[in-house]
Structure 1
């Protein structure tokens, strides 16, 4: 029995395959992706929304809104890692081959869009749910099909209705966490 798992033959084989996959991803990115119109659009969709968000965000609530967006980002990145590893989808075009697959959507577009919804519709749970149902429908049934059409996203075992459910679940969970932190901050330490 080999107790030193870091030296196992299986791990060494996995690492060799990862190195080869990384080499092929870099080669493919250099030959087929970088500087295409889709790549330039992806670059613009990564930078411009960040600037627009900074101009539009309620500066008095910026930390709260950014925390909400960070939770959405984290959940999206986790789901994305899970889904790409299970081959539920793939990303034919990447901004940079060393970044998470579609960082533009996971860390910029979706969180910013949902942060703006949160900024304007988070006063009551009812307004939050209604606004996020509409936002989730837009993201899942309009934005994602556009990304599929452009070639950024290719589904293999995932259905857009699952994305709709994910967006609703992640926004609800993020708001619950924020409300929990707000209650905790409002309660004196000795009362906890």
Structure 2
């Protein structure tokens, strides 16, 4: 394949992606919009952040939010890869774009991590990480699947457990960096 053939191939793939996204927009607008699942997904986007706004530790907000932001970025990257490679899908969407699922990875996961970091901060982080991984992978994801908000295709919940556990440990480490202590003392 020549370079020019590669450009033509990418153009063809881009057209296919555009057509797939249009199909998803039509499906969301005509089949899913305002259904119970759609409202549940919307609530999963909004409610965790409202909860966080009310119950966050204001003295540690920047440190905790930075750790949550790290979880958001990492989960966005891995989730996009998983959807792109056909490992899982998000059938019902609030925002009708093929790879976007704001409800879980950009709201529920980071807020839950931030709350775990905030409460009992000196509790064993490995136990908290396992708790987070078990709850997310073996409870949260099957519940999402039951309501058609997540579809496992070629994936194991155990992989998700390992990833979520690692996310928590990384967020814990990140939230403990000395640079945050200096900011909080000011």
Shift of 1:174: 2.2
Query: Among 164, 170, 183, which residue is 1:167 paired with?
Result: 164
1:88 equivalent in structure 2? 87
Task: List, as ranges, runs of 4+ consecutive aligned residues in structure 1 with deviation greater than 4 Å.
Answer: 1-5, 183-186
Deviations 1:60-100 (A, max 9, x none): 00000100111111111111001001101011100111385
Shift of 1:167: 0.9
| Larger CA Rg, structure 1 vs 2 | 1
Unaligned runs of 5+ in 2: none
Deviations 1:14-61 (A, max 9, x none): 121112111111111111111111101111221122111100000000
Please give the residue correspondences for 1:12-161 in structure 2 after superposition, counting only pairs within 5 Å: 12-98=11-97, 100-123=99-122, 127-161=124-158
TM-score scaled by length of structure 2: 0.89
The alignment's C-alpha RMSD in Å is 2.3
SS in 2 for 1:8: helix
Change (3 A) 1:183 1:151: closer
Flag the structure with more relative contact order, 1 or 2, with Cα contacts below 8 A and sequence separation at least 6: 2
Shift of 1:172: 1.3
Asked whether the 8 Å contact 1:121–1:128 carries over to 2, the reply is no
Q: Give the whole-Å Cα distance in 2 for the aligned partners of 1:14 and 1:175.
A: 40
